[in-house]
A and B are shown apart, each in its own frame.
Chain A
């Protein structure tokens, strides 16, 4: 089955760190750009970051630049998002998605930044 499964979300204090993972299966992971998209409670979708197939290109929304790092391990069919210096406004469901046009989505993992 073609799917993406996110994990790693949870409650973290402001200024803390968290690493999200996304496990891909059912397709050739190394052939696709991958994306992270987030959705704050009751709000719309916000693109967060993209990474090229070989990891050589990475792009971020301005609000996370310098704090978040997207990476991937093609041997493990996995995508990651390292999130540092977390803020309350980073509270959201984080989705991984396949490609820059986001055909395939995971179920999401909730990150809550609160003291």
Chain B
């Protein structure tokens, strides 16, 4: 099975400053159809998860453009250009290329 790792697991950030989360997979996430099914989710405290990014770099409707995704193969990154208070929560990457589907362990983002 694929193994997903994230770093850091905890990320204290200063409001207005950038933040970056890394996600790595043990196998390439390039599907036989040519797509890379790597998604990013945000879970605010007490809320259901919300998808932010799909297929590496595609932002979902309503997601602020300060969020961006990048990467390829086995290495992926979620960046927040300027952190706002509402960005506090846990961020998960998830691979949808191989069965079983798998979430990363999560990165907790909070304000310094």
Number of interface residues of B (CB under 8 A): 23
5 pairs of A and B residues whose beta carbons are closest in the complex: A47-B101, A45-B103, A105-B48, A44-B106, A100-B96
A103 touches B51 (CB 8 A): yes
Q: Which residue of B lies closest to A97 (CB)?
A: B49
Number of interface residues of A (CB under 8 A): 20
Q: Which residue of B lies closest to A107 (CB)?
A: B48
Instruction: Tell me the bound Cα distance from A47 to B101 in angstroms.
Output: 6
Q: Say how far B100's CB is from chain A's closest CB, in angstroms.
A: 5
B48 touches A45 (CB 8 A): no
Interface string of A49-87 (1 = CB under 8 A from B): 010000000011110000000000000000000000000
By a CB distance below 8 angstroms, the chain B residues around A101 are 37, 39, 51, 54-55, 94, 96
Q: Which residue of A lies closest to B43 (CB)?
A: A45
Q: Which residue of A lies closest to B37 (CB)?
A: A101
By a CB distance below 8 angstroms, the chain B residues around A35 are 101
A89 contacts chain B at the CB level, 8 A cutoff: no
Q: A101-B39, A101-B94, A105-B50 provided; 6 other pairs, C-beta below 8 A?
A: A44-B90, A44-B92, A45-B41, A47-B102, A50-B101, A61-B100
A46 touches B103 (CB 8 A): yes
A106 contacts chain B at the CB level, 8 A cutoff: yes
Instruction: Tell me the bound Cα distance from A106 to B96 in angstroms.
Output: 19
Q: Which of A62, A103, A107 has the most CB of B within 10 A?
A: A103
By a CB distance below 8 angstroms, the chain A residues around B104 are 44
B71 contacts chain A at the CB level, 8 A cutoff: no
A-B contact pairs, 20 of them (CB 8 A): A44-B92, A44-B103, A44-B105, A45-B103, A46-B103, A47-B100, A47-B103, A50-B101, A59-B99, A59-B101, A100-B101, A101-B51, A101-B54, A102-B39, A102-B49, A102-B94, A103-B54, A105-B50, A107-B48, A108-B48
